[in-house]
Structure 1
Amino acid sequence: MVQLPKTNPETHRAFLEGNFVVNKTEKKFSCMAIDQAHEQNNACVKADGGAVGLTENPGALRRWMVAGPEMARLVNEFENVTECFVNTNASNKLHHEQTLSFQESFRNDIVSLYDVIDDLGNPFLETSKDLLVLDSKNIVDISVVKTVNTIESLGQEQFEKYTKERLVDRTTSVFDTIKRNKLPLFQTPPPAKKNVYDRSQANGFEKLYIACQSRDGNLDDFFRHENHAFPPSLSQNGTIRLGTKADLLSKCLERLTPPTDVKPVVSSVILDGSAVVNMLKPVNIKSFNEYALKVFIPYIQNIGKDVQRIDIVFDTYIDNSLKGIYSRKNVEKVSEDEFKMKQMYQEIGRNSCA
């Protein structure tokens, strides 16, 4: 290839013009090597099943060999013609990164990186040995720092070992499996700490306890203050306790209220209209009127069997509220769905009063 300009200048000139690749589409960045294009054409001819099951039938194999390339050509021409009618925009010829949205997103990332560096200062002037993550401002574990400092020398050492054992000494086959390096990286979670309290902290607490006993200290005052590195109520061995709101209801609040199976006798019921609408799902419902007649009103009527009065409360926007001002400004922009929803609420109110 180095002597190609002298040995074969025409081929060298064709290579300089880009004739060593095949243009898959009109995009300049979708070019591929000639051998790769051949393999892709073979895949188009094979389609899904290919020649599987045809090798034992010479007639079927011959028909497939003759008709396969023609069918692939017809499908390719049809797709090209369809693409001409659909993708008429000139921007389709550009690379996916040559769009306004991608460039704007890339610019925002650059600005964010600049702001972080401007806030923390020049990271290259840092003299400490800690490895700091710029976006989260967290200090990574010492094992990750060791990986960053030794990964290049480790790779060079493994390369020399591979060359010596498999190519020079030939004591190991080239087909033997190479063990994967399990190195801690930035996304690797820190190792779990079995015991957060080291011996020095334990010795400190023991000395304070003994001093309170020998000097007539008040042990109640001693144990009244926090003597843990992490609050046990919020943390477990240095890891914050996680949970859900349901745990508070099922394990704490339910114990304070004894369960009862007796339904209280009341004469009136007050319902939150928005909560009822969110609770009753419109399954197989096509309109607001159908939802009101088949779902909402039957639910209200079922509750009203045992009471004398039902009050349904919906949110109202008073004149001086922000929502009220916003609704007045957009009164002309009310959509058809919102208008139907308002009519449904009015219908519900009339039926409830009736």
Structure 2
Amino acid sequence: MQLSKVMEEPSALRRWMVAGPEISRLAANYETVSGIKDAKKSNRHHEQTETVQRAFFEKVKQLTMVMEEMGNPFEEESGDLLTLDTDIADPSAAQLIATHHERGKEKFNSFMANLQCENDCSVYQPIKKNRITFFTNEPKSASKSETKLLKEDCNLFSRLFISCQNRQCDLQEFFKHENQSFPASLSNKGKLHTCTKSDLVDVLQAKVTLPETKPESDVLIVDGAALVNTVAQRTPKTFEEYARKDILPKVEYYSTKHKRTDIIFDVYHQSSLKAEARSKPGKAIRRRVTATSKTPSNWQSFLRDSTNKTEPFHFLANKVAEMTTGNPVIMTKGENAITTTSDTSVNLEEVAPCTHEEADTRIFVHARHAATEGYKSLMIEANDTDIVVIAISLMPSLARNRS
């Protein structure tokens, strides 16, 4: 009866809520001192256990390792939201955090409005949480199984076939059309079928006799993405050290062996048709590329993000442009091109600006320019089957430009 009265009176309920824990503690202490009840419960804090402390020190160790690898995030001067596991959070997460306070105020204002317009609304009615996940990806919707899709296609095909027979339709015309949204001959659940293009190179190599040594050439054209992938850093270091110790010595070697060296990078646009294909390898770790920022330990995961490719490509192009080389080195930077500071005789107007997005085709813009400049031999260093096929098709026209 007494409890029911407390629940009915808001002021009595508040006093009971405030004094209740203290009264409970005093009662427990009295029972322990008087011997009525043995004190079996430990008076230590719930985190003062060996397991919790071991987990805490492990997390501190991991945090220290991440900050040593990625650098101090508090020295960043940008509008991006930084997280310690991915360096730069997705813009959607930054937007959620920036508007989270406003959403909380909207909940509170809605609660106060309900108090004023509803007689039976209590001040103790809870405000619903804004259940928002900031730093995790949205769960992917479950796709239908292959068997279920085949059954649905079969049922649809059966109904259409029966309707054609009842309506005396032309069955030859009926069988000319697909009975599903995505042609099975071209796609799998809406995704285009892929193949192993490198198998074509084996077929082409079987038709010719390959030289035992690397041939000499006046001009070397290098696929920049292949260069960055093959000269991947082995241990975390700054991007300045990566350029100075790994990439620039390689470029210096090229310039001494060839009269001209061109390094071609891809250009990445958000609206590109290639964006869908580039997203297939999965989510990448986003990281800013500056001279003092650390290179990632997982290089392949880093290069899955198009922005992670654009920034180091531009960074390396600027570093190459600062070099002093005996022979000219041309490097693309976005749609433009730059050359080493020691050479001012190279005319870049015929190769830049260039709207080619893929290095596969832009390589041959530079190849044609080199042929018209009078160079006699040219070699392309790449690991892409598309470049091999394009090179074979364009070889006659390049020979005419050289002559």
TM-score by length of 1: 0.31
User: RCO higher in 1 or 2 (8 Å CA, sep ≥ 6)?
Assistant: 2
Which protein has the bigger helix share?
A: 1
